[in-house]
Amino acid sequence: MEMVKDNYILGVLVGLLMPFLGFLVFYEWKFGAFTLEEFLDLLNRQKSILSAMISISLLINGVVLTIFFQKQKDKTAKGLFFTTCIYAVIAIACKWYL
């Protein structure tokens, strides 16, 4: 039996969850000394940090996307690509408007 199904919904779910992993990694890597409340306050004051976090999340989505394409899980990869595009638009909006 196949461990990972090949469907769009799974790709979208993975694409939505991986950025949260990216946020967590970025927070621990760059701002681990801050409390979460202090970090959120810093994010509110310096929008460029939010843009950097989204960029790290897109990188993680790109890695996972590559893995699904290599395993020939094309439908799952397409769902993941869709959410990655949504996050890319958000990243661009953060750069331009915040």
Q: Do 76 and 7 meet the contact criterion of CB atoms below 8 Å apart?
A: yes
Q: What is the DSSP code (8-state) at residue 35?
A: -
Domain map of the chain by residue range? 16-27+36-97
* Cα separation values, 66 from 33, 70, 74, Å: 33, 6, 10
The pLDDT score that the predictor gives to residue 74 is 92
**Tens-digit pLDDT profile for residues 3-61:** 568 899 999 999 999 988 888 888 898 898 999 899 888 888 887 788 788 888 888 99
Q: How far apart are CA 48 and CA 19, in angstroms?
A: 17
pTM of the model: 0.77
